[in-house]
Structure 1
Amino acid sequence: MKFAYLIMGAIFDSKKDKASIHNGVSQIIGVADIEEACQIAKELQSEGVDCIELCGGFGEEGARKIIEATENKIAVGFAIHLEDQNDIYKKLFGK
């Protein structure tokens, strides 16, 4: 199985902000926005990636956009946190 994890934030550039382990079997890629994420997801799919996991910043709406971009043909999930930590996350990310 080939796996990729996408993190999203204005500071990222997918051309520079990426790393892989196990000869590319697992990758992490930083993307600036959802548009870039959709493009990268399509590229990953064409490279044979089986599963894309997304940082929590994507949320359900962003995950659905990635699923649409990949035509619902590969596994897509996103990280979430427990509600008990909402205040900590709000402080950290300003939401």
Structure 2
Amino acid sequence: MVGETPVSSAFARWQISEDIENLTTLAGKNLKTLDPILRLIISMLDGTRGRVELADEILAAIELPLEERERFTAALPDIIEDQLTQIASAGLLVG
């Protein structure tokens, strides 16, 4: 289970800020990440945001037509939970 305010490795956040596709996991393996939502979530996991804050910032960061935005907003809690599980399984979370 992923905690309330998860933290991804600072190195992975830096790699995303430098637009590097392959992120280095805490086990030292390279992980290719192309999904923009996944990369956005990893970049925001500095321990200061819970799931509600993540959702708010994701919605602020992306542009979608109104009809798609409503569906995306409704699905976002599940998307975030799935992505956090993937991030944890990949070895990108600290602690």
Task: Please state which structure has a larger fraction of its residues in helix.
Answer: 2
| TM-score, normalising length: structure 1 | 0.29
Task: Please state which structure has a larger fraction of its residues in strand.
Answer: 1
Work out which structure has the larger RCO, using CA pairs closer than 8 Å and 6 or more positions apart in sequence: 2
| TM-score, normalising length: structure 2 | 0.29
